[in-house]
Amino acid sequence: MNPYPNRGPAPLAVDNTSDPMPKSADFVVIGGGIMGVTTARDLVRQGHSVVLVEKGIIGGEQSSRNWGWIRQAGRDLRELPLAVQSRRLWRGLSAEFGPELGYVQCGIAYAANSAAQLQTYQNWAKAAHPYGVIAHILSPDAVATLIPALSHPVHGALHTPQDGRAEPQAAAPLIARAARDAGLHLFQGCAAFDIETDTKGICAVRTETGRIATRNVVVAGGFGRRRFWRGLGCVCHSSRSFHPRCAQIQLRPISAQTRPNRVRFRALGPAYRSGIWRCACAATVG
């Protein structure tokens, strides 16, 4: 039965780990979307003990509700190095998981409804070329050939033939299954309540199933991540200014009275190689 009857197909089912929740782990990942599962998978492959907790089901939120685009088209130029690498890695995932992942290099076209919009696309294509992005400007006739069902005239289009898509309802669950089979401790229906600290820094994650001792936490919980930052005495602002490697994060203490020991954040390479543009970080306090 589809638990989400009002929004199309449900994500593929993923079984939890059969063993009890560990009392400790090298890393605890909070959130079972595409960011969380890809990060957990890479950490397990690197030999770390990893626990992933998800309050709902794997891929049950935005990771299964998006359009599945894996695109370079129209990106801020500062995002392009990451977008180019992301596309390459998705092709590798497709080779690993096969057709079930739903990856197709179908290309993406942005139709221009005005001459000014077409000029914007031309400028972008020229600026993106040094990054290795293949982008073409199509004439109205070429657009009609590419998209026969187009119902209104256009001035042209930006076409990036290397772009593609993966199946949103399949991607995160398939990767989670592989990570679990490789040793990930996976627990769905298990909400994380709090990140605990001691004099040395982060020391544990408290969940509704139990407490997990750890010195490293990956918060990949989408909108819910903010309450964990607040619990550490910080407010996290995601900036629209992009570094070629990761999204910029600005932190400030809530107040001098509630300020904890110094909080250090570092971008997690595995998460940013997943092709999804939300920000995920590992946090340590000390």
What pLDDT, in 10s, does the model give residues 114-130? 999 999 999 999 999 99
236: its two tokens: 């996290």
Q: What confidence score (pLDDT) does residue 68 get?
A: 87
* DSSP helix/strand/coil, 68: coil
Count of C-beta atoms within a 10 Å radius of residue 166: 21
Question: What's the CATH number for 69-166?
Answer: 3.30.9.10
Q: What confidence score (pLDDT) does residue 231 get?
A: 64
36: its two tokens: 């969380």
Query: What is the distance between the alpha carbons of residues 286 and 280, in angstroms, rounded to a whole number?
Result: 19
Ordered by start, the domain boundaries in the chain are 27-64+169-285, 69-166
Question: What's the CATH number for 27-64+169-285?
Answer: 3.50.50.60
**H or E element: which one contains 267?**
strand 263-267
Answer whether residue 133 shows pLDDT above 80: yes
Q: What confidence score (pLDDT) does residue 233 get?
A: 63
Interhelix angle 34-45/168-181, rounded to 10 degrees, is: 30
Say whether pTM exceeds 0.85.
Answer: no
| Same topology between domain 27-64+169-285 and domain 69-166 | no
Helix/strand/coil (H/E/C) assignment for every residue in 106-168: CCEEEEECCHHHHHHHHHHHHHHHHHCCCCEEECHHHHHHHCCCCCCCCCEEEEECCCEECCH
- Closest by CA to 34, choosing from 12, 18, 49, is 12
Query: What is the distance between the alpha carbons of residues 142 and 118, in angstroms, rounded to a whole number?
Result: 14
- 89-98 in b/e form (b: 16+ CB < 10 A) is ebeebbeebe
What pLDDT, in 10s, does the model give residues 84-117? 999 999 999 999 999 999 999 999 999 999 999 9
Query: What is the distance between the alpha carbons of residues 140 and 65, in angstroms, rounded to a whole number?
Result: 32
What pLDDT, in 10s, does the model give residues 34-49? 989 999 999 999 999 9
